[in-house]
Structure 1
């Protein structure tokens, strides 16, 4: 009897302990979930400003060329840099061969072109131009001993031009586009070197480039010949057709540098005199 009572007491006690443990387990609270990190209050950095890529054929001094460090320098470069500063935009100049320069613009590889580009009705069909920034005309370069006095005198001579320029166009009209008397070169300085070597009898090119070359190459003994038959030209900055936003910025910057005297200062630095009144309006 004593053994049975002891056994029942043990079983009762064990049952109470187990029940207590079960209740304790049921009453256990789960650990609180970690708090979510507070959202950052720091402002996101502003997007990087767009850098407009400017194509230029850096073989056309004094408008654009490369110095001994390989940097692109010249009148056009200084003008566009001043325009960009006034317009509040950032630009990057990229040397671009003349023969492909307009395709680079059309394909979107360049945002803007500055390369002594004459504004013509034909070019206006595929690109838009800024207000004019330089007055130019064609000029004939010949040896100092030459008897050439006018453009028509070139009809039976060998003439050097830069491919695709307005000089190429006017000579093609005079001699015929496929004439073998026309020698085309990648740059005007190369054509003038050919004149120096007597490979051609004359070179027709923009006045600014011809005068600069003759002035800085006295040993070549060249002279220049002008002709009223040459139509006055004006240079403009070119943007892709329909890019109104960029064109407005460029025109505003150009108007500002003309108004405050910056343009006239740059012009005098390269050409030794004040610009014609028409181009600074």
Structure 2
């Protein structure tokens, strides 16, 4: 009888220890779950639209990456401002619509700040000063100013400030204005003799002429007819948070000499 009681008592104690042990094991995962760190929040990457046919401001390298002056300036500003970017080649014709629809967060495409554009988008502080420049075939002697183009056929890039100034000179519906998707195509039309002149931003025209000396194009400056223009990086209208980041970055790279280094790389010393 005593042996039986001892056996029963031992069995009861073993059961109790087993229950306690099981309870401890069941509690362990709950404690681990409670102490597990929350998953990290993904950092925002801003999508930048660039029409990569406008060297030296934006173009594609041999790896089809979007590179150029604008890309380096905005990338440097982003590094200073603490935000990340992804550049996407975006045709000029749809670049502003992409910003409005939210497909692009920022535009970096040698975009002149104008009062009309400021109605539908917000611009960063200026980062580049430009002027319109006339391109003609070498040997042409009757074009010394913008006014001399009144009776000429002129190539421009659609929707640019070059397009705007030529419309004012010849009239909005003038058949002598030939519009192209990008500035290199407008300059190729000049090369082939399809037009008498081309008008576009000085930076891209000078770069094209410099790198294509075999085509016999020269440039004509007319500072009296063409007012200075300033490029900015547009963001969607009212996106003040992003605009502040971009402006802080631009200010920082101008202050520490980074901007000047990038400028000299593409255009030589000022």
Cα deviation for residue 222 of structure 1 reads 1.2
| Local SS of the residue matching 2:134 | strand
Aligned position for 2:10: none
Aligned position for 1:43: 37
Range with bigger deviation, 73-82 or 41-50:
41-50
- The one of 269, 274, 279 aligned to 2:265: 269
Report the count of equivalent residues.
246
Aligned position for 2:228: 232
Output the CA distance in 2 between the equivalents of 1:42 and 1:84. Answer: 33
Aligned position for 2:87: 93
| Local SS of the residue matching 1:48 | coil
Give the gaps of 5 or more residues in structure 1: 1-28, 275-281
Residue 70 of structure 1 pairs with residue 67 of structure 2: no
Aligned position for 1:163: 158
Aligned position for 1:107: 101
Output the CA distance in 1 between the equivalents of 2:241 and 2:267. Answer: 32
Q: What is the root-mean-square deviation in Å for CA atoms of aligned residues?
A: 1.5
| Local SS of the residue matching 1:55 | strand
Output the CA distance in 2 between the equivalents of 1:178 and 1:96. Answer: 27
Cα deviation for residue 202 of structure 1 reads 0.3
Cα deviation for residue 45 of structure 1 reads 2.3
Aligned position for 2:76: 82
Aligned position for 1:60: 54
Give the gaps of 5 or more residues in structure 2: 1-15
Output the CA distance in 2 between the equivalents of 1:231 and 1:126. Answer: 23
Output the CA distance in 1 between the equivalents of 2:114 and 2:40. Answer: 40
Cα deviation per residue 1:58-109 (whole Å; 9 max; x = unaligned)?
A: 0000000011221111000000110110011010000001011011001000
Cα deviation for residue 44 of structure 1 reads 1.2
Cα deviation for residue 157 of structure 1 reads 0.8
Q: Larger Cα Rg: Structure 1 or Structure 2?
A: 1
| Runs of 4+, deviation exceeding 3 Å | 31-37
Residue 126 of structure 1 pairs with residue 120 of structure 2: yes
Output the CA distance in 2 between the equivalents of 1:77 and 1:191. Answer: 23
Output the CA distance in 1 between the equivalents of 2:192 and 2:60. Answer: 24
| Local SS of the residue matching 1:81 | helix
Cα deviation for residue 199 of structure 1 reads 0.6
- The one of 96, 110, 116 aligned to 1:116: 110
| Local SS of the residue matching 2:53 | coil
Output the CA distance in 1 between the equivalents of 2:101 and 2:127. Answer: 25
Output the CA distance in 2 between the equivalents of 1:177 and 1:51. Answer: 40
Equivalent positions of 1:189-228 (< 5 A) are 189-227=184-222, 228=224
Cα deviation per residue 1:212-233 (whole Å; 9 max; x = unaligned)?
A: 0111111111111111111110
- The one of 247, 250, 256 aligned to 2:243: 247
Instruction: Tell me the TM-score normalised to structure 1 length.
Output: 0.85
Residue 135 of structure 1 pairs with residue 129 of structure 2: yes
Cα deviation for residue 273 of structure 1 reads 1.2
Cα deviation for residue 53 of structure 1 reads 0.1
